[in-house]
Structure 1
Amino acid sequence: MENDFGKYTRERVSNIPFDSNDPVYKEYSNKVPQFIGQAVYIYSFEKNRMVFANGWKDLLGYEDVEITLLKIIESTSKRHFNFSNELNDKALQFLKNINLNLDKYSFTLEVEKIHKNGDIIPLFSRVGIYKSHNGNILEVIGISERIHSRKLGNIMQYAAFGPETSSFEESLNEQLFNQLAISRKEKEALELAAKGFASKEIANKLNVSQSAIEKRIIPLYKRFNVKSLPHLISFSYDNYIL
């Protein structure tokens, strides 16, 4: 498989694991919460390598001492690979322009990873800013866990969070428009539409304007090549969105 990394990500990701003798690793081993069923990593852009990893043996079959950010990226399944990397790329580009409260920003995505043994593992992953200084991202943290409740389809699902959540997610929506993906806000409106609520009712429930709801749902017609709301809802069930 040819790896189609975004330029911003490609220039900032290495294949270097953590150093167990590094004082930072020892500090994070005592500091970072570790839960059964979750795998965690912290990647340092200053050191250009992992500085902490835990739980990857159970999740993807890799020892913590061998897992790298490049390996995590490359383990993405073929059908999710390009979008996953495009999302990482666009999110980091957006965040490099944020100067305040960087550590309060994060994004989530549902993505298929390939286990070391070749099995496909559906994951829910969250990536956030772990450490920053003067508007510069120093470290990111990623937390992943297996999705047991349902299958993943061809349509990627993602969400953005932070003090500027609306502009963050809207920026991603605009830049990822041509990808087969759906954001948290779009899915939220679609779920209510699937239950039979009209745009005005959905707007009231979500405390936004009716035009805001239309801006979330109508673009999905073109993106998913459907002709009507019933077609969109049917498509969403067929592709495990709903």
Structure 2
Amino acid sequence: MPHQSDPAYGQYSRMFISDVPAGPAGAVPRPELLRFAEEAIYIYSFAESRMVYANGWKEVLGYEDAEVSLIQLVNATTPEFAPFSNDLNDKAIQFLHSKSENLEQYSFSIELKKFHKLGHTVPLLWRVGVYKTMGGKVVEVIGRAQVNHALKFGKVMKYATYGPADKVEFEEELNKILFQHPAVSEREKEALALASQGYSFKEIAALLNISESAVEKRIRPMYKRFDCKSLSHLVKFGIENGII
């Protein structure tokens, strides 16, 4: 039996996540859902409090599609990634339940490892987004897990947000948990990568078409988070830990 990570997940998520699997119907692929090789998909219904669709999990994590539940997938996260992954999911659910417009445009991804049913770990790019809405409320979310052996894991976890014009608001909300974990967002990685090439904050702002203060807002919080005293120290830390 594979080791299971701490099953504790966010207090907010506890109200919505269940251990009810997709069942036999979940093993029947939906023609409209394209699945690539070494990719698994699930759809979880908040309305029914259960997994309503699963496909590809035998190939990715060794589980039959009919037996997969959302809590099972949560608990398969390896211990070093579980706290951040659980908090990120919790904060994302809170944010999405506070919104009523453009919901289908929101999603986020995270690089992590999950335990395979046989016990070994699997490197995954995990992306979760809104799949179905009704009356301005999220009804279903979709998750896609893609095996990616090229991922570089260090002490720092990485995630990215996607969304409409107020995508920045989504990331800023999720970023509130970053000081509790060694993690960076895609926007922070992007800015730090340019800084590592010798660009000034002013030049980075021009390249990214944002304000100089926005660049500072992306880079300076990492000083404290990773206990770095200078930009050169932060760049060195970023290289050593696979951020850039």
> TM exceeds 0.5?
yes
The residue aligned with 2:35 is 34
**Paired residues for 1:1-242 under 5 Å:** 1-21=5-25, 29-163=30-164, 164-242=166-244
SS in structure 2 of the partner of residue 176 of structure 1: helix
Gap regions ≥5 residues in structure 1: none
Q: Distance in 2 between matches of 1:236 and 1:21?
A: 45
Q: Distance in 2 between matches of 1:136 and 1:43?
A: 14
Question: Over the residues paired in the alignment, what is the CA RMSD in angstroms?
Answer: 1.6
Q: Distance in 2 between matches of 1:64 and 1:217?
A: 42
Give the deviation of 1:196 after TM superposition.
Answer: 1.3
Contact 1:106 1:129 in 2 (8 A): yes
TM-score by length of 2: 0.93
Q: Which amino acid aligns with 1:4?
A: A
Q: Distance in 1 between matches of 2:76 and 2:23?
A: 22
Q: Which amino acid aligns with 1:5?
A: Y
SS in structure 1 of the partner of residue 42 of structure 2: strand
Contact 1:112 1:152 in 2 (8 A): no
Contact 1:106 1:126 in 2 (8 A): yes
- Residue correspondences, number: 239
Gap regions ≥5 residues in structure 2: none
Q: Distance in 1 between matches of 2:235 and 2:206?
A: 21
TM-score by length of 1: 0.93
SS in structure 1 of the partner of residue 139 of structure 2: strand
Q: Which amino acid aligns with 2:213?
A: S
Contact 1:80 1:154 in 2 (8 A): no
Q: For each residue in 1:118-157, what CA deviation from the matched residue of structure 2 results, as whole angstroms up to 9, or x when unmatched?
A: 2121111110000111122111000011122232122111
